[in-house]
DNA sequence: ATGGCATATCCTATATGA
């Protein structure tokens, strides 16, 4: 099973790009962020025609998340991150797909920093850490996939020099991410590629894509129930090189679900 | 310190992204 996360930066503009990627890579589950569209504008029919059932939560102009599943309906678990009823950003979806709990998140960017937007980012992160703790120990296999807007370490960016004041690299931001990992979550891409630079985002400025000046900010975290299934992890970088591409490329994991529960209940000999 | 580019909407100007 291939599960991916892709910040599309506008679902309407990016639909041809998205369909091309889905057709070529055939992910079983795709978590999308930055739909930048109202619910009524979501292209569910076109995606259905491409073989995908969708669950989505849109918003005018900004944010917006969706979970796509190939050939099956994703079963909605929740549509918002608990902890703040006044938070009206569309940044969170949680669904069951094929026996796995799939979390799709779009963590706030937080720029400029310091300021109210950075405060909102940290507050959202705290709520997420709290909710993730419950998910981790739920007994279900869980993957939390999305645009975390966190560059975990200086190894996850081409050069931190011009980004030192950016919200994505702040010590508070990184500390939150580390606290999340400390619950036991596996950062799948870094786990399988500990010694090589991996990027998922290249901004539109200064020919950063052409020079491979990227950042790793899209992550897939697995809990202990799902981690034994991890086979591969990577980034479909070719998507970033297409015409009218998003500034993000899809990041993904491949899982062997036959290994589910293998660790939890060793079979007794007859 | 700013801008470079892209996408959105109250669309020839402004907010947001990262």
Domain ranges of chain A: 2-259
The residue-averaged pLDDT of A85-90 equals 96
Q: According to the model, what pLDDT value does residue A208 have?
A: 96
The DSSP letter of residue A265 is S
* Residue A177 known to be catalytic: no
| Annotation marks residue A106 as catalytic | yes
Nucleotide nearest to A244 (CA to C1'): B6
Q: What is the pTM (predicted TM-score) of this model?
A: 0.96
Distance A137 CA to B5 C1' (A): 43
Question: In this structure, which CATH number among 3.40.50.740, 3.30.365.10, 1.10.10.10, 3.60.10.10 belongs to the domain A2-259?
Answer: 3.60.10.10
In the predicted structure, residue A177 carries a pLDDT above the cut 90 = yes
| pLDDT given at position A268 | 59
* CA–CA dist A140, A260 (Å, integer): 10
pLDDT higher than threshold 90 for residue A188: yes
pLDDT on residue A267: 54
Length of chain A (residues): 270
Instruction: Round to whole Å and give the CA distance between A147 and A233.
Output: 16
Confidence of residue A261 (pLDDT cuts 50, 70, 90): confident
Cβ of residue A241 lies below 7 Å from strand B: no
Q: Residue range A128-155: average pLDDT?
A: 98
Cα dihedral A78, A83, A88, A93, rounded to 10, equals: -20
For the stretch A49-82, pLDDT in tens is: 999 999 999 999 999 999 999 999 999 999 999 9
Q: Is the CB of A62 under 7 A from strand B?
A: yes
What mean pLDDT, rounded, does chain A reach? 96
Residue nearest B8 (alpha carbon to C1'):
A61
Report chain B positions within 7 A of protein CB atoms: 2-9, 16-18
The H-or-E segment that residue A186 falls in is strand A186-187
Nucleotide nearest to A248 (CA to C1'): B18
For tokens 């293998």, the residue is: A262
């Amino acid at each position: 099973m291939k599960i991916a996360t892709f910040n599309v930066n506008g679902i309407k503009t990016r639909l041809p790009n998205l369909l091309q990627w889905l057709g070529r890579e055939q992910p079983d589950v795709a978590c999308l962020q930055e739909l930048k569209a109202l619910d009524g504008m979501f292209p569910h029919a076109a995606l259905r025609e491409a073989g995908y059932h969708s669950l989505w939560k849109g918003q005018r102009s900004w944010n917006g998340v969706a979970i796509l599943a190939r050939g099956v309906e994703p079963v909605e678990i929740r549509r918002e991150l608990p902890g703040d009823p006044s938070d009206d950003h569309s940044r969170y979806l949680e669904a069951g797909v094929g026996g796995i709990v799939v979390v799709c998140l779009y963590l706030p960017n937080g720029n400029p920093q310091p300021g109210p937007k950075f405060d909102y980012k940290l507050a959202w992160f705290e709520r997420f850490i709290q909710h993730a703790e419950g998910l981790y120990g739920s007994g279900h296999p869980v993957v939390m996939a999305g645009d975390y807007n966190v560059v975990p370490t200086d190894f996850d960016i081409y050069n931190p020099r011009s980004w030192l004041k950016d919200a994505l690299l702040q010590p508070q931001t990184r500390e939150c991410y580390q606290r999340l990992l400390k619950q036991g979550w596996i950062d799948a891409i870094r786990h399988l590629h500990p010694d090589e630079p991996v990027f998922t985002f290249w901004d539109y400025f200064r020919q950063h894509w052409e020079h491979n000046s990227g950042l790793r900010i899209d992550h897939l975290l697995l809990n202990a129930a799902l981690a034994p299934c991890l086979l591969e992890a990577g980034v479909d970088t070719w998507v970033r090189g297409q015409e009218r591409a998003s500034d993000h490329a899809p990041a993904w994991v491949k899982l062997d679900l036959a290994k589910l529960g293998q660790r939890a209940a060793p079979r007794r000999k007859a």
